[in-house]
Chain A
Amino acid sequence: MSGHNESILREPLITGRDITYAKITSDILEPVENKPNRAWWIGFIAALCGATLWLVAVSYTFWNGIGSWGLNKTVGWAWDITGFVWWVGIGHAGTLISAVLLLFRQNWRNSINRSAEAMTIFAVICAATYVVSHMGRPWLAYWVLPLPNQFGSLWVNFNSPLVWDMFAISTYFSVSLLFWYTGLLPDIATIRDRAVGLRRKIYTIFSFGWNGNVKTWQRFETVSLILAGISTPLVLSVHTIVSMDFATSVIPGWHTTIFPPYFVAGAIFSGFAMVLTLLLVARKVLGLENYITMFHIESMNKIIILTGSIVGVAYITEFFIAWYSGSEYEAYAFVNRSTGPYWWAYWMMMTCNVISPQLLWFKKIRLSIPATWILSIVVNIGMWFERFVIIVTSLHRDYLPSSWAMFYPTWVDVSVFVGSIGVFFTLFLLFLRVLPSIAIAEVKIILKSSSEQAKLKQIKEGHLDKTYVKEYVESLEKFDSVKQEDYAKI
């Protein structure tokens, strides 16, 4: 396997000098095998308060009905669907990182895929709760399933994008869960074999008896590759279908063919932003700087620039088409969006999604952790506003001026949204405590080929082109986890 070395021109994916297989295991399992620190408890208690608020607000909605939200006869969809699409979008990065980057053999995915997939699952859970609570009669949520007529409703309407959405979201959730859990098995077995007593018993149950023999690994790789192959079109299809919830309607501002690619780009954009928001903190608090390096952060920032620019082009295209189509309703919807009573939301979206990510073209900003972290949050805010703009501004001035209205959220609207963030963080913080936040086995694969120490060994052995070595050493300058003075003499 390491019969051939990786090119020296590639940046290392694991930094540090004395990394061994054993050290990888103990570094990554550090938060799992020890008692949580104060930072974790503070975060967890705050998140739990949010989750409680969510429980109260959702129960209140179930008890009193959708009337407890700020919806009115003109704006029938607002924060609920905004929140739903926002969370589903965030849920796209995990599968994208684990599946698409696997197919493209991007090895840098190995140290970020696990937590990104976990994030996906938790984000889709948050999204699903919105779907159920906006139904009005959530106890009849099973009516969206294709059940025979005896159950009290007709067969579902298979021409409806809402039914497609039910299939898409539930497929996406369950396939992501399978992918994530299958990948976790070897790592759960690692925890099991290091644990004693009750912990060992619990991890034994969840490790499914994994022992890492040749056949299991060989088939594991086949399964991972096929799952990646089918998850790639799946992840693209999910947000495509979400966008069809809008695009197949006849509401000006929604009825656009650009929606599927534009929504998918937006989903990847917001998903990567959320991965950065979480991992920049986790990396510091959990001491994982050697595994999630500046190269990883820079690569994700590059994806954010790309997808942010695609989203920007989509916004402008929509505007152009609104004028070029000659449809006065379409044109009005867009003029109203940018200059009407919701102009501030529109420009918030434009600034956060199109203008501020362009700052990442500057290498200094791309490589600055505080700047990246702030920008990632800005992107998330912008993407929330994007959905709000699409949904509310297209609805609030309909065909009859006498029914024009504004949307004002109630405390329940706000609490469901803020609470769902609490639910998300509660789940994510629990995940960091009980399961390895980095795929241990996958990081071990690249230790001998792509680590800083392997590259240093290559340099010391000689036989390398001097200019290449120089370029490599220069590329290390951006790493905060590399001791620069070691390279001064090379």
Chain B
Amino acid sequence: MSNIKYILGSFGDPDEMLHGIEKLQENNIKIHDVYTPMPIHGIEAKLGIKRSRLDMLAFFCGITGTVSAFALIYLTSVVDWRNNIGGKPAFALPDFIPIMFELTILFTAFGLVLSYYASTHLFPGRAPRVMDLRATDDRFIIAVDAQLNAEHSKIDGLLKDAGAIEVKHNERKYISYE
């Protein structure tokens, strides 16, 4: 048994890569992950990735924003510190709407983006876990865990047949760590 950790199939074309995923799956080879320079439609269904629940989260963040804005305005200008502004009613709901709307958007955007960063572990200065440096440029990379799948030459063959430009055997998981 060698000390190869990951086998990477490097494709130059997204359709060939999708074909490569199918080939591997037909042969019951588990795919570790796929790295691409752009979003590929249909790939998450192939890899069995569940639908993101960020949309639901965004909705609840938005509702929180609406309620917070209303609470802030109501508690300050109706309950706590009622001002006589030209004799107009303190509880002037139409006037509250612009701020309620803006805070809805603000809370949705921040809640959504910050949870996205948290759920995909994105934050300033995080060491990039990159398996192939060209995955952000012009290559579509399928990574297979070499320890779990013993038949290395078969994997190589399948990837090559699907159209991989090169197949790499990496002894380190992430080449970006220095």
Contact = CB atoms under 8 A, between A and B. Distances in A.
For the side of the interface on A, what is the size category? 35 or more
A255 to B, nearest CB: 15
Contacts of A146: 72, 76
A167 B120 contact: no
Nearest to B44: A218
Interface string A96-123: 0000000000000000000000000000
B109 interface: yes
Contacts of A150: none
B122 A209 contact: yes
A21 interface: yes
A216 B121 CA distance: 9
B86 to A, nearest CB: 9
A430 interface: no
B34 A213 contact: yes
Contacts of B117: 208
A215 B49 contact: yes
B126 A209 contact: yes
Interface stretch (A189-197, A286-294, A469-477): A189-197
B136 A189 contact: yes
B38 A207 contact: no
Interface string B119-151: 111111111111101111110000000000000
A214 B47 contact: yes
B119 to A, nearest CB: 7
Interface in B52-105: 52, 54-55, 58, 62, 72-73, 76-77, 80-81, 83, 85, 88, 92, 95-96, 98-99, 101-103, 105
Contacts of B134: 193
B119 A217 contact: no
A227 B137 contact: no
Contacts of A204: 125, 127-128
Nearest to B88: A159
Interface string A410-451: 000000000000000000000000000000111011001000
Contacts of B136: 186, 189-190, 192-193, 210-212
B127 A194 contact: no
Contact of B43 (A149, A161, A185, A214): A214
A293 to B, nearest CB: 20
A223 B113 contact: yes
B108 interface: yes
B44 A209 contact: no
7 contacts: A163-B99, A182-B116, A193-B128, A205-B124, A230-B62, A230-B109, A444-B38
Given A209-B128, A219-B120, 17 more contacts: A21-B138, A158-B76, A158-B96, A163-B99, A182-B113, A189-B128, A208-B126, A213-B35, A215-B120, A216-B120, A217-B39, A218-B39, A222-B55, A223-B113, A231-B105, A237-B98, A237-B105
Interface of A: 1-3, 20-22, 25, 146, 149, 154-155, 157-159, 161, 163-164, 167-168, 171, 174-175, 178-179, 182, 185-186, 189-190, 192-194, 204-223, 226-227, 230-231, 233-234, 237, 241, 244, 440-442, 444-445, 448
- Lowest 4 CB-CB distances: which A-B pairs, in order? A209-B126, A21-B138, A22-B138, A208-B122
